[in-house]
Amino acid sequence: MSASTPSNHDHDHDEHHHDGHSHHRHADSERPGHSHAPSKPWQATRAEAVEALLHELGVIDSARVDDIVQHYEERVGPKTGARVIARAWTDADFKARLMSDGLAACAELGIGGPETELLHVVENTDAVHNVIVCTLCSCYPWPVLGLPPAWYKSSAYRSRVVREPRKVLAEMGLELDPEVEVRVWDSISEIRYLVLPQRPAGTDDLTEEELMELVDRNAMIGVAKIDAPEIQS
């Protein structure tokens, strides 16, 4: 399901609502290489078949599933995390609370939700660069960043970033100084990590709102830095 675009997702569910037996048809296409809809990954077809069956059995409510997916696709995303970062940059007391208990500090801003029991915020400095991964699957700080990007879930990133983080980061466009220590944080179901990027130089006059605009998702995963804004003439 996570591979579907929002429009695909809505369309898929319309099918279920209008065709109570659609899971029978989907079951045929469950096997890789045998699909009625070649454009759709077989995993998505399988997930939809399971969801349709669970809905029919009364175990789950498809409308509720749609609502959850829509919540993470449209209402929670990297902008949520950017609010947290901009606040930490501009409010030292908030930053201290964020570093000691990430979820409690996020709750002050009305940010929260499932999929994270402990949010551990790790701060980038001139001496230390942090990067997050889930080597086992795809654990990610959903309440602050929304759904993980596809590359975060890829086996290449998950296996390589722990073995050769500098090389992986360089391939992703982030060349780190040899003196900088790289720390790789392996997420688990209960503990999710968020990188607090360094505030770029030349931003002393920016408001919290303006700072928010500078913060991007990859910097909060730790595979990018935040560039100083271009000076307006």
Residues forming contacts to Fe ion in the complex (CB under 5 A) are: 134, 136-139
Q: Is the CB of 68 or the CB of 136 nearer to Fe ion? A: 136
Per-residue HEC secondary structure of the chain comes to CCCCCHHHHHHHHHHHHHCCCHHHHHHHCCCCCCCCCCCCCHHHHHHHHHHHHHHHCCCCCHHHHHHHHHHHHHHCCHHHHHHHHHHHHHCHHHHHHHHHCHHHHHHHCCCCCCCCCEEEEEECCCCEEEEEECCCCCCCCHHHHCCCCHHHHCHHHHHHHHHCHHHHHHHCCCCCCCCCEEEEEECCCCEEEEEECCCCCCCCCCCHHHHHHHCCHHHHHCCCCCCCCCCCC
Q: Is the CB of 116 or the CB of 124 nearer to Fe ion? A: 116
What's the min distance (Å) between Cβ of 142 and Fe ion?
11
Q: Is the CB of 122 or the CB of 226 nearer to Fe ion? A: 122
Set 100, 137, 154, 159: catalytic member = 137
Which residue has the CB atom at the shortest distance from Fe ion?
A: 139
Nearest-angstrom CA–CA distance, 115 and 175: 32
Set 4, 106, 134, 187: catalytic member = 134
What's the min distance (Å) between Cβ of 146 and Fe ion?
15
Contacts 24+ apart (CB under 8 A), 163-171: 165/131, 168/223, 169/129, 169/131, 169/223
Q: Is the CB of 89 or the CB of 157 nearer to Fe ion? A: 157
What's the min distance (Å) between Cβ of 158 and Fe ion?
9
User: Is residue 62 classed exposed, middle or buried when 0-12, 13-18 and 19+ CB atoms within 10 A define those classes?
Assistant: middle
What's the min distance (Å) between Cβ of 148 and Fe ion?
9
106 in catalytic set: no
Set 4, 29, 106, 139: catalytic member = 139
What's the min distance (Å) between Cβ of 152 and Fe ion?
10
Q: Is the CB of 135 or the CB of 203 nearer to Fe ion? A: 135
Q: Which residues are catalytic?
A: 134, 137-139
